[in-house]
Amino acid sequence: MDVNQAIHLLKSKGYKHTDKREDMLNIFTKHKGYLTARNVLNELKDRYNGLSFDTIYRNLSLFVDLGILEETEFNGEKHYQMKCEDDRCQHLICIGCGITQNVNVRPFEDQLERSNDFKITGHKFEIYGYCSLCH
Amino acid sequence: MDVNQAIHLLKSKGYKHTDKREDMLNIFTKHKGYLTARNVLNELKDRYNGLSFDTIYRNLSLFVDLGILEETEFNGEKHYQMKCEDDRCQHLICIGCGITQNVNVRPFEDQLERSNDFKITGHKFEIYGYCSLCH
DNA sequence: ATCGATGCAAACTCTTTGCATAGCA
DNA sequence: TGCTATGCAAAGAGTTTGCATCGAT
């Protein structure tokens, strides 16, 4: 999903288009990897004097609810990135820079679903390590 | 690892054998799945009047450091269970009861390590859903 | 003008830490 | 006895919420 699609989705649900929301979305589309609320605030605090965590958190949460961002928790913090088109997409997460690479485990999950009596509702398949640049 | 092995490991590292630690370890060996600090406290609070979160947290953290427990974060809380013998073991986590099933993704990771320029240091491969009983 | 968005402040949850005391070895 | 474990209290971090005001449509 790109920024325009996301903004269109917001409007279609009755939410408003604000500069802060657009900027937040731009940050995520330009950064290939997970960001925390603090990361987002740091990116925007020069542009918006007095920008508060509340707004960041509220919008991050809204974006997740609308399916624009996906959320994961590690290192005691919630991390966000643009949601993959493929709901089976999975990540390698560089613990140096936060960059993620996608990997495909669909065949694995397909096999799992056939062979197990387990109804999948969500998953977290993340491999932590160092990407080629940080390594 | 069973309770006796864990206690032996504790002693060999200069940590002491206490009733609370033994009880905590027993809880984890008897429960096949993740538990939070609060879960552990609830299990023990009748037996130990005034048992504090501090002790639970300190011991959980110690157990993780010693490789007795493994830790993961979801729903805003840290969750713990006995560490798998196989360091490539992965989990299906029932969001109904917390029970975990292990699955083997070793072939997948082996292939990944060969084909990607990514140095793996850790991973979280967890599939959330409902087990056969909760389902 | 209306209703959502934001900032402020406070609260809340989970977790960690300093310090004095209790307890194992 | 010596050193670790524990409880108490407080602090700390990340996150959420109530309310009044600002701002988009």
What digits encode the pLDDT tens for the residues B47-84? 998 899 999 999 999 999 999 999 988 889 999 999 87
The per-residue pLDDT for B121 is: 67
Say yes or no to pLDDT of A133 above 70. no
- Kindly state whether residues B50 and B78 are assigned to the same domain: yes
The per-residue pLDDT for A1 is: 84
Which nucleotide is nearest to A21 if distance is taken from CA to C1'?
C5
- Kindly state whether residues A40 and A102 are assigned to the same domain: no
Say yes or no to pLDDT of A36 above 80. yes
Question: Are A103 and B120 within 8 A, CB to CB?
Answer: no
Asked if residue B52 is part of any domain, the answer here is yes
Q: What distance in Å separates the CA atoms of residue A22 and residue A2, rounded to the nearest whole number? A: 11
Query: Which one is predicted more confidently, B42 or A94?
Result: B42
How do strand B119-130 and strand B89-94 relate by DSSP bridges? parallel
Burial of residue B92, with CB atoms counted within 10 A of its CB: 0-12 exposed, 13-18 middle, 19 or more buried: buried
Q: Which of residues 106-125 of A touch B (CB under 8 A)?
A: 108-109, 112, 116-125
pTM score of the predicted model: 0.83
The per-residue pLDDT for A16 is: 96
Question: Would an 8 Å CB–CB cutoff place B95 in contact with chain A?
Answer: yes
The per-residue pLDDT for B130 is: 67
Q: Which of residues 33-92 of A touch B (CB under 8 A)?
A: 73-74, 76, 92
- Kindly state whether residues A28 and A76 are assigned to the same domain: yes
The per-residue pLDDT for B7 is: 96
Q: Which domain-ending residue is among A82, A100, A119?
A: A82
Asked if residue A135 is part of any domain, the answer here is no
Looking at every residue in chain A, the average pLDDT score rounds to 84
- Termini Cα distance of chain B: 30
Q: Where are the beta strands (DSSP E) in chain B?
A: 35-36, 69-74, 77-82, 89-94, 100-104, 119-130
Looking at every residue in chain B, the average pLDDT score rounds to 84
Q: What distance in Å separates the CA atoms of residue A60 and residue A62, rounded to the nearest whole number? A: 5
* pLDDT band of B129, cuts 50, 70, 90: low
Which nucleotide is nearest to B58 if distance is taken from CA to C1'?
C16
The per-residue pLDDT for B33 is: 85
Asked if residue A47 is part of any domain, the answer here is yes
What does the pLDDT average to over A25-33?
A: 92
Q: Residue B7 to residues A21, B34, B52, B75, B104: CA-CA distances in angstroms? A: 53, 20, 21, 30, 28
- Kindly state whether residues A76 and A102 are assigned to the same domain: no
Asked if residue B100 is part of any domain, the answer here is yes
* pLDDT band of A4, cuts 50, 70, 90: very high
pLDDT tens-digit series, residues B13-38: 999 999 999 999 999 999 988 999 99
Q: Which domain-ending residue is among B82, B102, B120?
A: B82
Tokens of B94: 């029932």
Residue ranges making up the domain that contains A78: 3-82
- Kindly state whether residues A14 and A64 are assigned to the same domain: yes
- Kindly state whether residues B8 and B63 are assigned to the same domain: yes
CATH number of the domain where residue B59 is located: 1.10.10.10
- Kindly state whether residues B49 and B104 are assigned to the same domain: no
Which sign does the torsion angle of CA B47, B51, B54, B55 carry? negative
Minimum mean pLDDT range among A1-10, A54-63, A123-132, B111-120: B111-120
- Kindly state whether residues A105 and A42 are assigned to the same domain: no
* pLDDT band of B97, cuts 50, 70, 90: low
Asked if residue A64 is part of any domain, the answer here is yes
CATH number of the domain where residue B120 is located: 3.30.1490.190
- Kindly state whether residues B8 and B69 are assigned to the same domain: yes
- Kindly state whether residues A8 and A70 are assigned to the same domain: yes
Asked if residue B77 is part of any domain, the answer here is yes
Which residues in chain A are contacts of B125 at CB distance < 8 A?
Answer: 124-127
Say yes or no to pLDDT of B106 above 60. yes
Number of domains in chain A: 2
- Kindly state whether residues B17 and B69 are assigned to the same domain: yes
The per-residue pLDDT for A99 is: 74
The per-residue pLDDT for A85 is: 76
Question: Are A118 and B132 within 8 A, CB to CB?
Answer: yes
Beta-bridge partners for B77: B74
Which nucleotide is nearest to B62 if distance is taken from CA to C1'?
D5
- Kindly state whether residues B49 and B78 are assigned to the same domain: yes
pLDDT tens-digit series, residues A60-116: 999 999 999 999 888 899 999 999 877 667 777 766 566 777 777 777 667 767 766
The per-residue pLDDT for A3 is: 94
Asked if residue A99 is part of any domain, the answer here is yes
* pLDDT band of A128, cuts 50, 70, 90: confident
Asked if residue B56 is part of any domain, the answer here is yes
What does the pLDDT average to over A37-66?
A: 94
